[in-house]
Structures are given as C-alpha cells and as structure tokens.
Structure 1
Amino acid sequence: MLTFLTLFCCSWCSPMTNDSIPSLNQLNYTVERALDWDSLFIRNSGWFGGDGIFTIPFNGVDTPHEGDSTLIVFSDTMAGDIRDGQLQPGFSMIHNSVAVLKGKEPLKENIHFYWNTDNHHAPATLFEPRTPAAGKADYYWLGDGFVNTAPHHNIYIFAYRIRNVSDKDFGFEEVGNALLVLPAHSRPPYTAQRQLDTPFFLAADSTTGSGSFGAGIFVNTKAAGAPHPDGYVYVYGVKGTQKAVMVARVLPADFENFGRWRFWDGQQWVPNIRHAATIANRASNELSVTPLKDGRYALIFQVDGIGTAVGLRLGASPAGPFGPVIKIWECPEVKENKHFFVYNAKAHPHLSRPGELLISYNVNSFDFLHELPASPHLYRPRFIRLILH
C-alpha cells in the first residue's frame, strides 16, 4: 500500500536564503515496500541474517541504476541453515561479512556471500583488527565505504573497533576507528588489504558521549556522478546519546592523509575534530546523504537511533543546514513483536530507480537468542522505496 504524505513548514525552522532552492521543510512523496529487495535477503542456507548493509558500486558511480556490480558490507552476520521455517542446530554469528551482487536487480542467483573459515571449516569473521591500536579481543563492525577513483580505485571502508564490556546496556562499546583499504579489483578474502588506525574516534567526555566518523559517505565528485560536484568526499560522524551528526571533508587524493581532513564547525572548515559542529540530531549510527534533482540533499536515518520511524531531513548542502525531521515510514516490525527494534536506515542511490530512493533499515530483538529460533528470518534488512513527486 502506498502512503502519501506532504509535509509543510515548521515555524521554528529558518527559511532558505536562496530562493532558487526549494524549502527544507516540505517534500511531496509516496513510500512503498520494496518487496523484491526484501526477498533477496530471505535465505535459508549459509548467510541468513546480518545488519549494517552498506552498498558500494564497484565502478565508483553512485547514481540511480549505474554500475554493473556492488559490494555489500555487513556487520554482525548469521550463518547456518533453516529448514521448513525452523532454525537448525549449528548456526553461528560472526562479526562481519560481505556480498557481491552482479547487476542492478535483486536476483538471488546474482548475489554471493563471503566470510572466512576457521580450522574446522566453520564460518569466521572476514575482517579482523590488526592495527597497532587493536586489542586482542577487539573486533570490527563496518561503516560506509566507497571506491576512490583518485588515484588507484582502491576501496575504502570504515571499521569501528568494538570491545565487549560488562558495564554497558548492550554489552559492548566502541574503542577506536580504523580504515580498511582494499586494493582495486581485489576480491574476498582480501589478503592484500591494509588497515589504518585513524584519529576519527572521539572518546566520551564530561558533556557528550563518544563519537566516530564513517556513519555515511557522500562522494561529491564528477567521477561519482554527483550533480553539483565540488571535488570533495564528505564523511559523516555520529556522537552522543542525542545521535548528533557531524561532517568532515577531504579531497579523494588526500583520503589517507588524515592531516588534510577538515571538519565543519558551523561556519567554516577547520582542522580540529573537537570543533566539529552538530549539523543535525536524532539520527542513527548509520545514515546516508544523497543529492536530489532539485538541488536539495536527503539525509536518511532511523529517528532517535532505534526509534520506530525512518526519518529524512532536507539539506541545502552536504553540510546543511538541514530542516526538521520528516518521518517517512513507520516500521511495522516493532508493532508485530514487542521485543523487536529497528535501526540504521540509509539510502542506496545506485541501486535505486530514477526518481526514487531505495532505503534499507535493520531489524533486531532485545531478546535475540530467544526470538531467533521462533523467527529465524528476523535479523535481515528490510527495504522501502521513497518515490519523489
């Protein structure tokens, strides 16, 4: 069923100063389930669940229906077998995996999943921390990534160093930020990969919670197909319990030169990460920023981190200002089961049709190990289409 919504101005939002750019408070759209993409990830053997799901076009062009294949990266991943709707013994969870999708359509015969295997041929995590800062028990959850066409077509993927702890609500905490560098044209298991510690993790202080960059990437270059390219790669971060969004930018050729990165302080681009301003809040730890045909930018996220709605804010530029939250989709999974929660919505421009945005969000359970046998397909991405009018 289509849901038609038109949002009008909020009195507290500042009007646009450039009359040529449409309002940041109003959007005409419909939303529908993308059942074809949903079904791609309903699987009964091998990979049967995962979160994260960032999508990276191998050719580096991130516009609707461009490219011929896609790298899909997952964080925690479930592997095993489901028969007649029943989860079979011997399933396992690993901390990250990838898939490669050939073509632009969600066809099961065109997607293949990859991870490592241990000495007993059981599934094992694909990317394990091995930077100088990594602890023995640390593991990676994966952030956004892109193909850097300047200069070598390497794939860059952010990786969050996670450590299990007993004094946190969810039993883990992020302790560092790393960058995975996969050589051009390489394929799993990426034996030639490089891993770099980055300075893009913000430890918690007395006023804010911790923060980290890599929640989303917008490549605003001609090579990536951006409609108004300025030549920079914009990297978004999220910090604190308010899920405050920050943004940095850097030229593609300088991506590994962390001293060349600049952070938006609300007025200008500055070298000090501690001066990064909040450009939006109530976001999620994974998100996306996508240019629209009318000159605005769509920030897509899960409202309030694990709220029930997929949210959108309209922006005047990749760094804002951004308008109010527009709730474009109420996720039905949280009404179907009181133990389920939804999180980390984002758009996938190059897998979208012209005039639309394909959007995913993740589903999990507060009582995961109890719910999984009863609902073995719960832990997989869900998809919707935002159709712009």
Structure 2
Amino acid sequence: MPNYAIIIDLSLKKGEERTVDLGLFWPLGRIETTGDMTVEYQHLMVWEALDVPGDAEGITARYIKFTAKEPSHVIVYEGPGFVAEPEARWTEAFRRESGWMGGDGIFSFNLHGGIDAFNQHDAKTLFVFGDTLVGESDTSGTRRVRPLLMPNNSVAYLQGNGAEHLDIDFRLNTHPEGHVISFIEPDNPSMYDGTVPEHLIRDDHRGDIRHYVSGFDPKCLTLTFDLTYAQPVRKLSVVNYFDPQESDTEIMNRGIKHCTVSVSDSEAGPWQKVADVTLRKAENLQDYQDIEIDRTCRYIQLDIPPQNGLGNHYSAEDKKTRVFGLNQVCIYNDDRPLRDLKVTSSSVLSRERLTSWFWLQDGVVIDNRIYFLPLLVVPDASKPEGLQFDVRGISLIEAPIVDGEVDFRAHTQKDTPLYRYHEDTLWLFGAAILPNFAAAGAMAPDGYVYVYGYSTKGAHRALRVARVKPEAFHTIDRYEYYAEGEWVKDMLKASPLLEHISCEMSVTPIESGSLKGKVIAVFQYDVDSRYTAYSIGETPWGPFTKPRIVYACPEPDLLGGKAYTYNAKAHPHLSTPNTLLVSYNVNSYDMQQHFDNLDVYRPRFIRLKESGH
C-alpha cells in the first residue's frame, strides 16, 4: 500500500495569504482544513480553486496558495501519481562532439523478442531519430562548426537497458561515395504528384481538386486496384472526370464512357469479367455512379478502350488528342469503403517526384520484424523558419531484424490511409504505439496493438486510438477505432480521448503501485511548451484524466534565443516499475543557434517516480 506523506502542514492567521512553492510538481491528495479558508493551485500560470476539505485525486501543482478568512490550519498530503527529477546520466550520454551530434524524434525498441515491459536487462535497444545533425564541434566543445549535415533519420544501438552502462553505438548511413544519407527514404506512391492514379483512392486533399488523367494517345489503358488481400466487394462507386475550376466544359469529355470491369485473386490473372459498363459525364464532384461487383477478390481491373467516343465522351470523329480521366473510385465491402489500396495504371500523363523525407513516428516489433508508421514530409517555404514543412501522408515501413540489428536495406514500404484531411480537420495515426499482446511482455495482454493518433483543427489537438491484431498490423483495413464505447472501422468516428497532447508521445501500462493496471500517457503539453505532462487512463482507450503537469523544462530559459522543448515520451523497457524513463526534445526556431550552442538539438531525460514510496 502507498504511504502518502504530508507535504504541507501550515497554520494561518485571519486574513493571511501565503503561497507555498513545493519545488517540484507534486500530485495532491487529501486536503484537511480547520477554519474558513480557500486553497488554490497554479495551473499554467492560472490559479484554480480546490474543494476543501476534500481530495485533489492526483492533480499536480508546484505552487499552492492559501487564504484564511479566520484562524485556520491546513494539511496537504501527496496523492497518487508521479514526481519528476532530471536524469543527468542519460542526458549526458547523448551529448557528442563529433559525428552524430544530435537528433529529435527519439523512439526506443527492444529488438530482443520485442518485449516492451519494464526491467529488460538483457534488451538489445534500438534508438531511432528524425532529422539528425552530423559534424564536428570547435576546440572548446561548445559550438558546432560548418559543414553541418542533416540526414532525415539515424539510429543507435545499446546492449542492455542502460542500467549497467550507456555505451551507445550511434550509426550513420553512408552512400558508396561516402556522403551521409538517411537509413530510410521515401519510395512509394505518396511521394508523387501530377495526374497519377493514386488520386483516385486518396482522401487527404485539402480542398484542391486532383484527377487521374491518362497519357496522350495510349495504346492500351487499364487501371488495376490491389485490395491487399482477397475480400468480399459489393460495389465500386465512381466519380467521372470533373474540374469545377475549368470554364471550358468540353474538357469534361475526358471522362470514361465505356469500360470492362474484371476481378482476380492474382495480379497475373486469370481475370473474371464482371460487367461491361457505361458511365455518364459527371455533373459535379459528388456525382457518384455505382458499379455492382458482388465478388470476393483481391484485384479489380478497369479495361478502357483507348479510342475517342468509346473510352471517353469525345466524338469518335473528333481529331483531338486522345486523353482519358477519372476523379475518384471508392471500393465498398458492404457499406464500408476500403482504404488500404494500391492502384496502378498502364498510362499516366504526369508523374512528378516530390522532394520528400520521412519523420519516423512510433513503431512495434512483431515476430522478429520491426514496423514504423513514419510521416512523409515535403518542404513548404511559405511557412516561418523552423516550420517550413508540410505533412503529405503516412507510410508503413517493415524491416527484418537480423542478428540483433535492423536490416534497413531489406525494408519495404507502402502508402497508408492513416492520414486524412476531412472538414478542415487533419487526422493521422502513429504518434504512439502500445503493444498489448503476450509476446511483447504485456502485463495484462488482450491480443492487440494499440495505435494512437490525433485530430488537429486549428490549435486544437485530440488523442484518438485504433487497435489491430499483431499479425494484421500491416493491413490497415483491419484496424478498428474506438468510438463512444464501440470499436468501428471508420477512422473519422474515433472518439477524442485526451486534449493538449504532443505529436509524439507514449502510452504505457503501469505495472506496480496504487495505479497498477492503468496506463500512463506521457506527452509535452500542447506539443512545444516547456511543460511535460502525463495523464492516467483506466484502459488503453481511456477514460483519461485531464493532463497533469509533472515537469517544467529549463532549456528555454537556459539556452535563450528561440529554443523550445517538445514531444516528450516514455521508454518502458529502459525503465523500472516505479521509475519511468522519459525523454523530451530540445530545438530552436533559429538555425544559427544550432551552430552556436552544442546543447541545442539533443534529447533530455527525466525520471517519473511514483508517489507514496
């Protein structure tokens, strides 16, 4: 049983007001008072009242203000929760003066069986980082000197969980010519723009209209849809070519007129004909036309005759260059649209390779393979310095673990539907992953992997969660989303669980103490504030308490300039049951500050210790 200590024992005179600085953020418990008085705690610089006498039930505070209306006495006990203290040993291990000199996005994985539980002394730890600084320091060891390189990801290995030593082996990937490159670079359909067929199945457009358009005068024209695995298909719902921004309505004749629809269990065939279909010209962007399928298959093919008047709506006598187009194809299993799709075409008018890179989100080890759900990012020069990027999608990376290390050269990747833009709200998943199955060492396994994401509208960000069986992790259409007490297939119905979270975070089962059996979400309050916070959840899908501030990061004050802190998260297999190892990132909106101060752009560590011990 926890032994909650008295943290304040105070007598006040009538009319006296006193503010107590606890030195740290403490979880508050029972508050016993005699006399008429008010008690307030400071939350993000705002004073909020507490009901006294009563129980604060773990609300955290550093500053507490007491105001006595008559002679009074108050006793405040610590409550259930966590207290933070700096972890200098881990922080110093990531301070380096040459080669790998800093990185953000730090996630950790136990490659030894994928066990994500506490106290893993025999772990083989993999760290993955996002944008990484590579170079040398000056002779004082306080500044970085030019040239300073920035590959978009790097890794490090540690034998064990850090309890005995922190001999971290930082790794950089190099091109055969010797220059530093990322371990994983985008190589999937989401990195292309133009009139590509992927526009037919994407639902992430931010108000812009994107079409599929064939090449000029194709000799043959087919569109092939891969459903990832064989499954029942009820219908296709198609929007023909339509461009509301084009004043010349003649261009709508690009739309498909006749096509043959076939299905197969193999991309090589044989193909079973379903129907010959005639499509009308679209009148708007919601002008859907249904094509009944009622088959179980993995592949669907549209075979379009490449002649004016047959394959499109131009006249057969029209001497215009033959071009064919579509706006959207939705494939339905019952009433649910399938989204984990791949589409190829025998002819494309424009395919433009975008400048892009990955930012690795969280991942999971399953059956000696590691999976990541990285953000695919493109540059956006219209934004302020330090924020000149835009997220375009989320990919799925799969790589084998060979002899205790990840073979990134053998990785595969694909685009996923875990990134969507809907009604001015951005939805994405992969910010945190909780492996709650037996092989991952889960304390109370239920056989699922929980994949956390968030929705963002303006400055408002809300946590959401999906779950999937580990053997189906790579099949996104098998994900289920928690929605008001049920698990559903529609991502956009996922319930908000917790607000003020960060873009990277963690959710971890609590293995001991008064909160045993619950989970703790760790994050940076509102992404890039100076406050690290946590929330306690009854289950992996909540309900969660309101955020509880646990630590005020000192770096914005210590480093000055435009330094900021962001994206806190826990590392369970590097932790002990009563002390949770947590990292957060330190960065600057001013690139010059990265040169001027070696302490910018490397992770910091703290430990969360359970109260009552």
d(CA) in 2 for partners of 1:73 and 1:168?
27
d(CA) in 2 for partners of 1:2 and 1:354?
24
- 1:207-256, Cα deviation, whole Å (9 max, x unpaired): 42x23111000011122122211110000002213221110000001111
The answer for the alignment partner of 1:3 in structure 2 is 24
**Residue 351 of structure 1 is aligned with which of 574, 577, 580?**
574
d(CA) in 1 for partners of 2:599 and 2:93?
12
The answer for the alignment partner of 1:19 in structure 2 is none
**Residue 122 of structure 1 is aligned with which of 179, 196, 200?**
179
Q: Which stretch of structure 1 is more off in the superposition, 137-146 or 98-107?
A: 98-107
The answer for the alignment partner of 2:296 in structure 1 is none
TM-score (norm 2): 0.58
- 1:23-45, Cα deviation, whole Å (9 max, x unpaired): 67553433211111001100011
d(CA) in 2 for partners of 1:106 and 1:381?
18
- Counterpart residue identity of residue 127, structure 1: I
- 1:296-321, Cα deviation, whole Å (9 max, x unpaired): 21000000111110010110100001
The answer for the alignment partner of 1:61 in structure 2 is 115
Aligned-residue sequence identity (percent) comes to 35
After superposition, residues 61-140 of structure 1 pair within 5 angstroms as: 61-66=115-120, 67-83=122-138, 84-85=140-141, 86-105=143-162, 110-118=167-175, 120-135=177-192, 136=353, 137-140=355-358
Residue 69 of structure 1, CA deviation: 1.1
After superposition, residues 100-249 of structure 1 pair within 5 angstroms as: 100-105=157-162, 110-118=167-175, 120-135=177-192, 136=353, 137-149=355-367, 153-169=368-384, 170-185=387-402, 187=405, 190-203=408-421, 205-208=422-425, 210-240=426-456, 241-249=459-467
The answer for the alignment partner of 1:40 in structure 2 is 93
Aligned residues of 2:432 and 2:505 also touching (Cα < 8 A): yes
**Residue 538 of structure 2 is aligned with which of 312, 316, 322?**
316
Residue 120 of structure 1, CA deviation: 4.0
Q: Which stretch of structure 1 is more off in the superposition, 104-113 or 159-168?
A: 104-113
- 1:322-374, Cα deviation, whole Å (9 max, x unpaired): 0011100000011221411110000001001231100000000111x211122
Name the SS of the counterpart of 1:184 in structure 2: strand
Residue 106 of structure 1, CA deviation: 7.0
Aligned residues of 1:114 and 1:188 also touching (Cα < 8 A): no
Residue 133 of structure 1, CA deviation: 2.1
Name the SS of the counterpart of 1:39 in structure 2: helix
d(CA) in 1 for partners of 2:576 and 2:406?
28
Residue 206 of structure 1, CA deviation: 3.5
Distance of aligned partners of 1:134 and 1:53 in 2 relative to their CA distance in 1, 3 Å threshold:
same
Residue 117 of structure 1, CA deviation: 1.7
The answer for the alignment partner of 1:20 in structure 2 is none
d(CA) in 2 for partners of 1:179 and 1:211?
16
d(CA) in 1 for partners of 2:504 and 2:525?
11
Aligned residues of 2:93 and 2:166 also touching (Cα < 8 A): no
Name the SS of the counterpart of 1:7 in structure 2: strand
d(CA) in 1 for partners of 2:594 and 2:578?
37
Aligned residues of 2:420 and 2:428 also touching (Cα < 8 A): yes
After superposition, residues 368-387 of structure 1 pair within 5 angstroms as: 369-387=591-609
d(CA) in 1 for partners of 2:164 and 2:132?
20
Aligned residues of 1:234 and 1:248 also touching (Cα < 8 A): yes
Q: Does 1:306 align with 2:363?
A: no
Residue 119 of structure 1, CA deviation: 5.2
d(CA) in 1 for partners of 2:28 and 2:394?
37
After superposition, residues 330-345 of structure 1 pair within 5 angstroms as: 330-336=552-558, 337-345=560-568
d(CA) in 2 for partners of 1:333 and 1:227?
36
- Counterpart residue identity of residue 172, structure 2: W
- Counterpart residue identity of residue 271, structure 1: K
Aligned residues of 2:28 and 2:58 also touching (Cα < 8 A): no
Q: Which stretch of structure 1 is more off in the superposition, 369-378 or 179-188?
A: 179-188
Aligned residues of 1:64 and 1:349 also touching (Cα < 8 A): yes
Q: Which stretch of structure 1 is more off in the superposition, 45-54 or 121-130?
A: 121-130
Residue 108 of structure 1, CA deviation: 7.5
d(CA) in 2 for partners of 1:116 and 1:106?
28
Segments of structure 2 that go 5 or more residues without pairing to the other structure are 1-21, 31-40, 42-47, 50-56, 60-78, 193-352
d(CA) in 2 for partners of 1:287 and 1:28?
18
Q: Does 1:50 align with 2:50?
A: no
d(CA) in 2 for partners of 1:202 and 1:242?
16
After superposition, residues 287-298 of structure 1 pair within 5 angstroms as: 287-292=505-510, 293=512, 294-298=516-520
Aligned residues of 1:24 and 1:322 also touching (Cα < 8 A): no
Aligned residues of 1:246 and 1:264 also touching (Cα < 8 A): yes
Aligned residues of 1:215 and 1:286 also touching (Cα < 8 A): yes
Distance of aligned partners of 1:44 and 1:314 in 2 relative to their CA distance in 1, 3 Å threshold:
same
**Residue 583 of structure 2 is aligned with which of 360, 364, 368?**
360
The answer for the alignment partner of 1:328 in structure 2 is 550
The answer for the alignment partner of 2:479 in structure 1 is 261
Aligned residues of 2:116 and 2:573 also touching (Cα < 8 A): yes
Residue 105 of structure 1, CA deviation: 1.3
The answer for the alignment partner of 2:221 in structure 1 is none
Aligned residues of 1:24 and 1:323 also touching (Cα < 8 A): no
- Counterpart residue identity of residue 356, structure 1: T
Name the SS of the counterpart of 1:306 in structure 2: coil
- Counterpart residue identity of residue 5, structure 1: W
Distance of aligned partners of 1:109 and 1:202 in 2 relative to their CA distance in 1, 3 Å threshold:
same
Aligned residues of 2:29 and 2:58 also touching (Cα < 8 A): no
- Counterpart residue identity of residue 54, structure 1: F
- Counterpart residue identity of residue 182, structure 1: A
Residue 172 of structure 1, CA deviation: 0.6
- Counterpart residue identity of residue 488, structure 2: V
Aligned residues of 1:103 and 1:110 also touching (Cα < 8 A): no
